[in-house]
Structure 1
Amino acid sequence: MKRRDFINWVGLGLIASSLPVAIAACSSAQTASTDWQTVGNVTDLDKSGQLLNENSSIGPVLVVDTSKENLVAVNPTCTHKGCTVAWKAEAKKFVCPCHGAEYGIDGKVQKEPATQPLKTYAAKIEGSSVVVRQS
């Protein structure tokens, strides 16, 4: 075997042996984004029917209790100018205090000037914690 062929085979072997590590690293990053994240506790949610966590690992999250055991979670940043929307329980919608944009319980725009929906998350109660997951 010639020296050049030997070096080529060794190089190819090194690349092939590192491939599973690269695949595993990419797979771990994807599964981490689907994990449930704790954003608060049930006691705080029960006080006002809503829970705002501006510093969660997935960004700002507003969780509202729309009815018993039915949680809705959104990123409360208005898609128009970046103000923090407020939950209006009686109307069952999110309202931006800056320019009056309104979003439905599903995060979809109901009244402009916003044109993009709010980002939504899956939410549930686990024990005494309120948890959300990027969907």
Structure 2
Amino acid sequence: MKRRDFISWVGLGWIASSLPIAIAACSSETTTPKPTSSASGDWQKVGTTAELDKTGQLVANDSPVGPVLVVGKSQSENLIAVNPTCTHKGCTVAWKDQAKKFACPCHGSEYGADGKVLKGPAEKPLKTYAAKIEGNSVVVKPS
């Protein structure tokens, strides 16, 4: 085999082995880490009432159920809790209190308080959680 042929085959092999990685990196699908707790269906602590009451929002990126954004006050009966990862390209959405919706700063997607898409380009809703106060803790449960 000639040296030029050998180098061509090695180059072709390198390109072929790199293709799956390149395709995966360009994928628009986002994944949410699976809960590592054996009690993944149970209520999980994501923060304290003091943290929530400070700004009316509590962000827990490394909670047992994955990323969680809780909106409300500890005295409120209706806490809102969602995974704040935009279902379009994975940016982090922000709660717009005046408009009562979540907005993605990257591509303009908007979601209602229930996580449903109000405005695209996102097509899938945000994952939602049941949320409540237990003592001085804010806890969530996948809904």
Q: Residue in 2 aligned with 1:118? A: 126
Q: Tell me by how many angstroms 1:68 deviates.
A: 2.5
| Aligned counterparts, 1:1-135, within 5 A | 32-65=39-72, 68-135=76-143
TM-score (norm 1): 0.75
Deviation at 1:69, TM superposition (A): 2.7
The total of aligned residue pairs comes to 106
SS at match of 1:35: coil
Identity of aligned residues (%): 70
Deviations 1:87-120 (A, max 9, x none): 0011000000001100000000000000000000
Moved over 2 A (4+): 66-69
Deviation at 1:34, TM superposition (A): 1.5
Q: Which runs of 5+ in 2 are unaligned?
A: 1-37
TM-score when scaled to structure 2?
A: 0.71
Q: How far 1:32 sits from its partner (Å)? A: 1.9
Larger displacement relative to structure 2 (117-126 or 63-72) = 63-72
- SS of 1:45's partner is helix
Letter in 1 for 2:126: L
Please list every run of 5 or more consecutive structure 1 residues that lacks an aligned counterpart in the other structure: 1-30
